[in-house]
Amino acid sequence: MTVEEILHAHDLKNTGCRKYILGELLKSEVAMSENELKESYPDLFDRVTLYRTLKTLEDRGIIHRIVLNDNTVKYALNRHHHEDDNFHSHFHCEKCDEVLCLDGVTHFDAELPKGFVSREVFVVVEGLCADCVKK
């Protein structure tokens, strides 16, 4: 899908900031932080516009956030899972800092207290990617 098709499918206006963020995420195979997103054009959008746009895209289910152990937040397109999935896992390379959405099912069983209901589960697997292992 193109940026315009994604925005149209989610009934969103075709703004410059939305187009830019989605364009960057479409080009990338890995999740990106706010700094990585604006790296090419650091002064293109003010901070408030960037945050509001990320929040809108997340609320509409176009992107999702990944919070790493050091509280760094990265964003990725919702290419690899469906909105009705309540489980999504990622791989974070501790050396190069890349974050990938994992395909397939990662098994996770949590015994919740009586009456509790899980809504979502996010798992981040920490380790080294294949390229960093070779180095």
- Enumerate the known binding-site residues: 82, 93, 96, 129, 132
**Binding site membership for Fe cation: which residues?**
82
Query: What does each C-alpha distance from 26 to 3, 22, 61, 102, 123 come to in angstroms?
Result: 8, 6, 15, 17, 23
**What is the arrangement of strands in the sheet containing 87-93, beginning at the earlier edge strand?**
99-101, 87-93, 121-127
* SS3 call for 63: strand
- Mark the binding-site residues for Zn(2+), compressed into ranges: 93, 96, 129, 132
Question: Would you tell me the crossing angle of helices 47-59 and 16-27 to the nearest 10 degrees?
Answer: 70
With beta carbons less than 8 A apart as the criterion, state whether 78 and 64 touch: yes
Count of CA atoms in the C-beta half-sphere (13 A) of 45: 21
Q: Locate 85 and state its tokens.
A: 């999935």
